[in-house]
Amino acid sequence: MTTVYHTYRTAYTTVRQPPGFGDFLRGSLALAILSFEKGFALRLDLDHHPIGPFLREKVPPDRSPEDFVEFFNERSPLLRTFVESLGPDESVGVTTNTHPDISLLTEATRNVVRSQLAFDDSVEHRPLRWRGRYPTALSRSCTYAWRTGTAASEPARCVR
């Protein structure tokens, strides 16, 4: 079966700043939809992201960093054609922040992504600790942004 590895990387050739985790997630959902339409296996590779070591399902790196095709910004529309050109049993690495067609998201496509983003027990059973100016506890209505590529952070925004 053809396999597409959606890989998070910290350096790119077609964009200046590495996309954040949200961009990776958006691209993963777009690829999950394509995987059902075109019949390929989708594997998420977060080996180079800080959360990578804490995921239950890890994708062993089997290719060099140069073996990935980038689909960002003006190249995003080329992703579908690229996937359609893959042969049977081909294995390729891509990285994208392509927007998914939300109307095509199903529980099955969500599960393709969700199942590969499950944390291992070291995270699930570790108490949440914050240092310094960060909130002591975040509820479902609070968000905190951390860009790993630049180590920049934004304060938590809470909705009450």
| Per-residue pLDDT tens over the stretch 96-133 | 999 999 999 999 999 999 999 888 877 655 455 544 44
- pTM equals 0.74
Pair 109, 137 in one domain? no
pLDDT at 15: 85
**Is residue 53 domain-shared with residue 107, that is, in the same domain?**
yes
Structure confidence at residue 4 (pLDDT): 94
Provide the β-strand partners of residue 143.
157
| Closest to 43 measured CA to CA, from 77, 89, 80, 94 | 94
Residue 95's DSSP bridge partners are 70
Pair (43, 97) in one structural domain: yes
Number of folded domains in the chain?
2
pLDDT confidence of residue 113: 93
Does residue 110 contact residue 23 with C-beta atoms inside 8 Å? no
- Asked if 81 and 141 sit in the same domain, the reply is no
Give the integer Cα–Cα distance in Å for 35 and 156. Answer: 35
**CA atoms of 148 and 145, how far apart (whole Å):** 10
Give the number of other CB atoms < 10 A from CB of residue 56: 13
How far is residue 62's CA from residue 64's CA, in Å, rounded to a whole number?
7
Both 29 and 76 in a single domain? yes
- Asked if residue 110 and residue 62 are part of one domain, the reply reads yes
- State residue 79's pLDDT score: 95
| Residue-range definition of the domain harbouring residue 153 | 127-160
Encoding tokens for residue 69?
């095709």
pLDDT of residue 37: 95
Show the tokens assigned to 78: 């080329």
- Token readout for 139 is 């509820």
pLDDT along the chain (160 residues), means of 10: 90 82 93 96 89 79 70 93 93 92 93 88 56 45 44 47
| Residue 93 sits in the same domain as residue 79 | yes
